Amino acid sequence: MRRNGLSTLTLAFIAMAAATAGFQQTTHAALVYLEEGGRVTAEAEYFSSRSSGSSHDWLIVPTEDTGPVLDQQGNPVNNPFLNARAGRYVQVLPDTTGGNGGTHDGPTVEFTAQITDPGTYRLYVRADGMEGNSDSLYARRAGETDYYRLTLGTDENFATNPWQGSGKLNTTGAAGGNPDPVTFNLAAGEHTFIIDQREDGAALDAIVLQKSTLGAPTGDGPNSSTILGHSLALTPTEDAYVRLGTPTQNYGGDSNLWVKNSGTGSTTRKSYIKFDVSTLELESIADAKLMLEVKINNSGGNPNDPTPQAYTVNVWGLDDGHAGEGWDESLITWNTAPANDTADNDLIPGEVTFLGQFVTPLINPAQTPDPVLVDLTNLESESLDALLTFLRADTDGQVTFILNREPTPGNNLTFASKESAAMAPTLSLFYTIPEPGTIALLSLAACGVGGYVRKRRRA
């Protein structure tokens, strides 16, 4: 089976920076909320980042709650609070009956919004306290020195006075009420909003950032906004290439995944890559990307000509339920590879699904210090639904991608395998809402996911 013609794929030539988490900092894989219709709504437990103070943290309740919260007399009080939107919220803990924090010294919890419709926006918080020493917090925009002090309720119930959109500008004291609307003039682009401790014990359930011309939220408020960059980056459980000229030889331990089309010639090679998705909710995927690092790209010769080539690579999915889905990288050969037409470069019709193509850039990896990456991004492939449909249809928790090449040009092309010191093949999955199975991962640890694993923003 052969697929001719190019699809409109974006080629990513990205220098990968090391993803490092800041000291006492937790990030949610570059989580960004998308403004739609002049509004952004964020669940507090799905923050973009947070930082510790000298003795306190914003903890997710009940996931990270470290014990009972005490009132001023040392008696346990209701915790969790009542009527949290998704049964979870964040709270400044431990509660030491009102330990005051400064305006810019943490602990902080931060939310990043992608604004497409510029203008004046007002921030509302769904927040509450439990007594007079836990009923206030600070809010500001990153990069600005101005801040708002907001006072809250005290009955441990988010539904009593559900949305607070006013505070007192640049004031640390408790007096003066909340006379100032919490507003910001926002240009198009990303903006980060910081909630800082004023009193420990304060709890935050959600935030709404919306055009000041819109009516204030009521009740539980609007649904959570689309999340950009809420992603998982998967590496293969198995990967290997197979070669026509050595049909019983196994190459599963090789650091290269070779892809070459010599027709019926002995040097024809195909590559197989398998991912375990058995613990994921694939029906919730909003976008997906398969990314590979190019290791060798030249036109052959003796010795190898360093001139790079624009090789066209086809990406196929092994059909769900195929008898060969259990292939083992330590055993796979040309003769045993699933859906392989052993006569030539083709695959067996009816056993694979075409997902798209990419073209390698005219860059020889040996001649540049930066990694050379290519990707198959669903929203930019020839069939808009091909990759998502393939992933969502999986029923057995195993997905296999097969790579073969168009016939010209005809020499050397390899990608890094998982055995390589370079980037392993990466399948990135993006969700518009937090996936239940990943709550602990997102809440408790900094994700080592670089900027290359990020949802492409729509215009």
Predicted pLDDT at 424:
96
Structure tokens at 328: 């083992």
Residue pair 337/242 in contact by the 8 Å Cβ criterion: yes
Sequence-ordered list of residues with C-beta below 8 angstroms from that of 295, at least 6 positions apart, any chain = 255, 256, 365, 414, 415, 416, 420, 422
Task: Provide the CATH number for the domain formed by 232-433 in this structure.
Answer: 2.60.120.230
Task: Provide the CATH number for the domain formed by 31-228 in this structure.
Answer: 2.60.120.260
Predicted pLDDT at 266:
96
Domain boundaries, the chain: 31-228, 232-433
Cα 222 from Cα 206, distance rounded (Å): 10
Core vs surface per residue 362-401: b (16+ CB within 10 A) or e: eebbeeeeebbbbbbbbbbbeeeebbbebbeebeeebbbb
Q: What is the mean pLDDT of each run of 10 residues along the chain (459 residues)?
A: 31 23 32 90 89 85 68 61 89 74 78 94 95 86 94 92 96 89 95 93 95 96 79 90 98 97 96 93 80 91 78 96 97 98 97 93 90 78 75 95 91 95 90 45 33 24
**Which strand (E) or helix (H) includes residue 444?**
helix 439-444
Sequence-ordered list of residues with C-beta below 8 angstroms from that of 378, at least 6 positions apart, any chain = 287, 288, 289, 384, 385, 386, 387, 388
Answer yes or no: same fold for 31-228 and 232-433: yes
Residue 443: which region, alpha, beta or left (left: phi > 0; alpha: psi -120 to 50)? alpha
Place of tokens 């500001």: 140
Predicted pLDDT at 448:
30
- This prediction has a pTM of 0.55
The number of residues making up the chain comes to 459
